Structure 1
Amino acid sequence: MQKRKSIGDIVLFAVTLVLAVVFFFPIYFNLMSAFKSNPEIMRDAIAFPKSFYVDSFKYLLTETDFPRAIVNSVLLTGLSILFMVLVIPMAGYAIERSNAKWTGAVFVYFLAGMMIPFQAYMIPLFKELKMFGLYGNLVGPIVIYISGSVGFGSLLYTSFLKGVPREIEESAAIDGCSRYAIFFRIVFPLLGPCTASMVVLNGLGIWNDFLMPMLVLPSDQPKTMIVEIFYFVGELSSRWDMIFAGTALSIVPVLILFVLLQRYFVKGIATGAIKG
């Protein structure tokens, strides 16, 4: 029995290792190609770079609109996540802790929004943005990202809040804390793993989003990093050195964020799944 279990562990480890290599290879290939010139990439894409070529990074950061695109990506992602963290936890808390009948209907309404594909309401949404004067600036996509994350965020927080004892809040209420003080001083700090999960999942989606910035932001101005990278892809030829360099610059912040929040992200997903 012990031997059979050991063989199973070895097989499971081998499969996990193979999957890890498969998923890591595109990142490795991109980072390796980012330090090659365009002719070198075209000549042998999988070979190691012969020299530490950084001219593509210099060109991107000094001769193009990529620095402005970096600022747009940071603002778009950072502001969206900030308002999500301020709004969605309160929505999940109100749904989970309220005994009113209408909260169940609101929760179902939020979840129903997750079932409608973006392409189904894309054109009416853009018309609505133009009607409210939000088309052509960063405010429009920020509002869309926040509203689009309410359904999943509410589901995540309500599942997590089921494991937070109500007695803690009742004790704070007896001590004279208001409803807002109970949430922000006592409940919200306990939601750290859940918040980290939401930040990682939504942050990755917003940072890597192509369609929304491409369609909403002005065509004559710098957009986001992902969109600016796309402009180096031509119909007859492509600047692969610029593409890989730009992609490498966009990958680094994501890797840093995930490494910093990995422990809380895994804990939040596991806890939410068990309690949900």
Structure 2
Amino acid sequence: MKKDIKLNDIIIFAVTLILAVIFAFPIFFNIMSAFKSNGEIMRDAIAFPKGFYLESFKYLLTETKYPEAMLNSTILTVCSIAVMILVIPMAAYAIERNSSKWTNGIFTYFLFGMMIPFQVYMIPLFKQLKMIGLFGTLTGPILVYISGSIGFGVLLFTSFLKGIPREIEESAEIDGCTRTGIFWKIVFPLLGPVTASMVVLQGLGIWNDFLMPMMVLPTGQAKTMIVELFYYVGEFSSRWDMIFAGTTMSLVPVLIAFLALQKYFVKGVSSGAIKG
């Protein structure tokens, strides 16, 4: 029996290791290629760089609109996530703690919204942004990102809130704490794991989004990092050194955020799944 268990452990470890290598290789290949010239990449894409070629980074940061695109990506991500954290937990708290036909109807409405692909309402949405004067601004995508995350966010937070005992809130209410104070001082600090999950999942999606900035932000001006790098892919030739250097710079904030929130992210997703 012990031999079977050890053999199973070895097989599971081997499969996990192979999958980890498969998923990690594109990141390794990207970072390795970022320090190679375009000629080196074209000659032998999988060869190690002969030295640390930094001209691609220097050119992107000094001769292109990439720094402005980095700023736009940061504004879109930070502003969207900040409003999501401010609004969505309160909405989920109101729905979960005040169960009624009205709140259940709103919750169902949010869930139905998750089932509609973005491509279905993409064109009407862009026309609506033009009508209200938000087409070509950063405000438009921010509002779209926030509204598009409410369904998933409410589902995630309500699942987690079911595991928080109501007795904690009742004790605070007896002590004279207001409903708003109970949420922000007592309940919200307990939502740290699921909030970290929300930040990572939604932040990663906004940071890497291509379609919305490409379609909404004005032509001829800096858009976001992913869109700016797209312009280096040509029909007959491509500047792969610029693309790999740019994607490497875009990876750094994502990796830092994920490593910082990894413990809370895993806990939030697993807790939400069990309690939901």
Which TM-score band applies after superposition, normalised by the shorter structure?
Answer: over 0.9
Q: Does 1:71 align with 2:67?
A: no
Shift of 1:100: 2.8
- Partners of 1:81 and 1:107 lie apart in 2 by 21
SS at match of 1:201: helix
Aligned equivalents of 1:148 and 1:37: distance in 2? 40
Cα distance in structure 1, aligned partners of 2:57 and 2:194: 36
Partner-residue secondary structure (3-state), 1:52: coil
Residues 1:91 and 2:91 aligned together: yes
SS of residue in 2 equivalent to 1:184: helix
Distance 1:154 1:3 in 2: 47
User: Residue type matched to 1:173 in 2?
Assistant: E
Q: Gaps (5+ residues) in structure 1?
A: none
Q: Could you tell me how far apart the structure 1 residues matched to 2:53 and 2:11 are? A: 41
| Map 1:126-145 → 2, pairs under 5 A | 126-145=126-145
- Matched to 2:178, the amino acid is S
- Listed as ranges, the matches of 1:51-70 within 5 Å are 51-70=51-70
CA offset digits 1:179-231 (Å, max 9, x no partner): 10000000000000000000000000000000000000001110000000000
> SS of the residue aligned with 2:12?
helix
Instruction: Give the drift of 1:99.
Output: 3.0
Q: Which residue matches 1:273?
A: 273
Q: Deviations over 1:98-132 (max 9, x none)?
A: 13320000000000000001110001101111111
Pairing 1:6-45 to 2, within 5 Å after superposition? 6-45=6-45
Give the alignment's TM-score, normalised by structure 1.
Answer: 0.99
CA RMSD of aligned residues (A): 0.5
Which residue number in structure 2 is paired with residue 156 of structure 1? 156
Alignment correspondent of 1:247: 247
Counterparts of 1:264 and 1:6, CA distance in 2: 31
Residue 166 of structure 1: aligned partner: 166
Could you say which residue in structure 2 is the equivalent of 1:182?
Answer: 182
Amino acid at match of 2:174: I
Counterparts of residues 87-126 of structure 1 (less than 5 Å): 87-126=87-126
Work out whether 1:198 is the aligned partner of 2:198.
Answer: yes
Matched residues in 1 for 2:134 and 2:93: separation? 30
Structure 1 runs of 4+ off > 4 angstroms?
none
Q: For the residues of structure 1 that align with 2:225 and 2:41, how far apart are their CA atoms?
A: 21
Distance 1:42 1:82 in 2: 42
Unaligned runs of 5+ in 2: none
Separation of aligned partners in 1, 2:270 and 2:216 = 36
Distance 1:154 1:99 in 2: 14
Q: 1:49 and 2:49 equivalent?
A: yes
- CA distance, structure 1, for counterparts of residue 27 and residue 208 of structure 2: 14
Paired position in structure 1 for 2:226: 226
